[in-house]
Amino acid sequence: MKQKKEKRITLRVTPEQYETIQAKAEAAHMSTGAYVRAAALRHRVMVIDGLKEFTHELKGIGRNVNQLVVLANMGKIQEVRLCETLEALGRIYHQLRELAEQEHR
């Protein structure tokens, strides 16, 4: 449940600082307020370029698995081999780790 935000903090920044904060918030797909709160509270804000392609592929795998479950529940299939799916998930996992490590450098 979201907490009501009752307190306000006013902050003055230079135009350059404002643009930098705005750009970082946009890159993180966050509102400016959410980004500043996360940064001020020492939350880790990580932006990973290329993440959209991974989420697209993961959604596709999820849809396929869901369809297999539906077919299994209907009794139309008895056995499912998910070796290729596990391999694909493993590749995605390793690629995500590599991207995250590059962002740390």
pLDDT at residue 99 greater than cutoff 70: yes
How much is the mean pLDDT over the chain? Answer: 87
Cβ contacts of 85 within 8 Å, gap of 6 or more: 61, 64, 65
Is 105 a residue whose pLDDT tops 70?
no
Is residue 103 pLDDT above 70, yes or no?
Answer: no
Angle at 99 between CA 53 and CA 52, to 5 degrees: 20
Mean pLDDT of 10-23: 94
Phi-psi region of 48 (alpha: psi -120 to 50; beta: other; left: phi over 0): beta
68-88, pLDDT tens digit by residue? 999 999 999 988 889 999 999
Query: Are 52 and 45 in contact, with CB atoms under 8 Å apart?
Result: no
For the chain, the structural domain boundaries read 1-47, 51-104
Identify the burial level of 35 via C-beta atoms within 10 angstroms of its C-beta, where 0-12 means exposed, 13-18 middle and 19 or more buried.
buried
